[in-house]
A and B are shown apart, each in its own frame.
Chain A
């Protein structure tokens, strides 16, 4: 039985806007499933339907074996939810919030404090637990949000853009926690607009655009599906470029070079073709100053499937803060 499955899932809002236009997916137990797409693609609407906050207007979905529309209470008992923007109560302390969550999840009064302390320690907030949440940094809020979502050891955890707006250190800390949860067998449904995050964490990635899934597979398979790596060549003299292009065409089609490269060629044989390219250029007397092998990225996949780049796809993780 899949941990999450959806068939023709739709959500149409008043005015006819169809935010989610028929999604089919199946997430296996223990899998980290990346849900990748730009702002407005339908990621959050899909998550809100799967966590019973929004009623589907078409299709069906089951989470942890229960129908989200007909058995929402059973779904809620089995899921953990960390929504976008870490919606927390700024007037409460971290400890009070986690204890409230434990009480709402039916923990016996005698066990509430112990379980809360355990989770607070796990996310590294023991020292800040008596401070009001309003004084927490973005990273601390996300960790507290995660602690609350994990209070009842959910079968399925939904993380809606958990690292948006975080600094790199906080982001990597959360990534480690997601890896740890995967190791413990928790199914994680992770929405993100960061390619690297999906690449690093997800067993499988689904790409959503305009409310529809346009691709779904492992990151490696998605990248392999859209083409081969390409080689960027910087020649000792720019004048060599035309001659070099003639030489390298036998290894694959030419591409527009990136950065300061003079020539770029897609390697039809994959990375093993590098040696042949270098040898052919050497035999032609063309001196190569630098070369760079560029693997396809999920943004290339996104571009191939939707005809546009993912927002912020070029931003390295250090800059996306």
Chain B
């Protein structure tokens, strides 16, 4: 199981890196969004009740990371759907591999890729003047939450692909990513959201993930947001991995 999972994860990672048309949007799009948001809305920090931050750019970094990780999940789903459409998935199913490895390999690869995505945005932040207030321990926390959340988003993508079996259908959820993200506190502090957006954000796990990623960037590491962020990411990962396994079982049973 371990060797098969690692081999499939290695293949998934290698293929992602060899598909620039898939890889580039994962960082390019959120980077562009970050630049536009920061440039146009920098005075948002002057709003009464806005948390004390070094700058709006620092605040938005977590949103860009969350957005990038979500897109990583979509890309992962598209890759699985392409495997299904092209018949390669059947080849894997016909091999004497534990069924769980077929899901675990891809999900693990998305988690590893998430480390690279987090590194990109932290490096970008440092280059353009962000302060990682939590220092090295804070950066490590961001990597940890990012990796767990990335794994969870990967599992969502895999579950969707196994249900939909079509890359275009998985690609169709792309706009939904933004809707869910805008209904969280990723781009704006929860305290300043008006109802019903605030109520939705209170129940949206992305809020806790984004806040967990943001805390070590805008302040010293505080237990509350980091713990909630980790818990939300872990809960999402477990729930979505379970859904992915159910989707795989459903697919194999129906075939």
Residues of A that sit less than 8 Å from B by CB: 51-55, 73, 76-77, 79, 81, 83-85, 87-89, 91-92, 96, 100-101, 103-106, 109, 148
Contact = CB atoms under 8 A, between A and B. Distances in A.
B88 A52 contact: no
Interface string B87-100: 11011111111000
B227 to A, nearest CB: 38
A88 B18 CA distance: 15
Contacts of B8: 100, 104
Interface in B1-49: 3-4, 7-8, 11, 14-15, 18-19
A76 B11 contact: no
B97 A104 contact: yes
Given A89-B11, A92-B14, A77 B90 contact: no
Given A81-B91, A83-B90, A88-B88, A105 B15 contact: no
Top 9 nearest A-B pairs (CB, nearest first) are A87-B87, A76-B96, A103-B7, A77-B96, A104-B95, A91-B18, A81-B94, A91-B15, A87-B88
Contacts of A81: 91, 94
B253 interface: yes
A101 B11 CA distance: 11
Contacts, number: 64
B86 A87 contact: yes
B92 A104 contact: yes
A85 B94 contact: no
Contact of B7 (A53, A55, A79, A104): A104
Contacts of B191: none
Contacts of A100: 7-8, 11
Contacts of A96: 11, 14
Contacts of B87: 83-85, 87
**What band does the interface of chain B fall in when counting residues whose beta carbon is under 8 Å from A?**
20 to 34
The secondary-structure label for the interface of chain B is: helix
B210 to A, nearest CB: 32
A77 B7 CA distance: 18
Contacts of B14: 91-92, 96
Contacts of A92: 11, 14-15
Nearest to A73: B96
Contacts of A76: 94-96
A87 to B, nearest CB: 3
A84 B90 CA distance: 11
Interface string B58-100: 0000000000000000000000000100111011111111000
Contacts of B97: 104
A51 B94 contact: yes
Contacts of A91: 14-15, 18-19
The secondary-structure label for the interface of chain A is: loop
B86 A101 contact: no
A224 to B, nearest CB: 37
Nearest to A52: B94
A136 to B, nearest CB: 14
Contacts of A103: 3-4, 7
**Residue of A96, A103, A109 with most chain B CB atoms under a 10 A cut-off:** A103
B253 A53 contact: no
15 contacts: A52-B94, A55-B253, A76-B94, A76-B96, A83-B94, A84-B87, A87-B88, A89-B11, A89-B15, A91-B19, A100-B7, A100-B8, A101-B95, A104-B7, A104-B8
Contact of B90 (A79, A87, A106, A109): A87
B52 to A, nearest CB: 47
A318 B3 CA distance: 45
A104 B4 contact: yes
A53 B95 CA distance: 10
Nearest to B97: A104
B109 to A, nearest CB: 13
Contacts of A89: 11, 15, 83, 86, 88
Contacts of B15: 89, 91-92
Contacts of B253: 55
A76 B95 CA distance: 6
A77 to B, nearest CB: 4
A148 B234 CA distance: 37
Contacts of A88: 88
Contacts of A77: 96
B100 to A, nearest CB: 13
A54 B11 CA distance: 25
A207 B28 CA distance: 56
A5 B92 CA distance: 24
B91 A83 contact: yes
Contacts of A55: 253, 255
Contacts of A83: 87, 90-91, 94
B23 to A, nearest CB: 12
Interface string B213-255: 0000000000000000000000000000000000000000101
A218 B11 CA distance: 44
A148 B253 CA distance: 26
Interface string B101-129: 00000000000000000000000000000
Contact of A106 (B11, B96, B255): B96
Nearest to B15: A91
Nearest to B98: A73
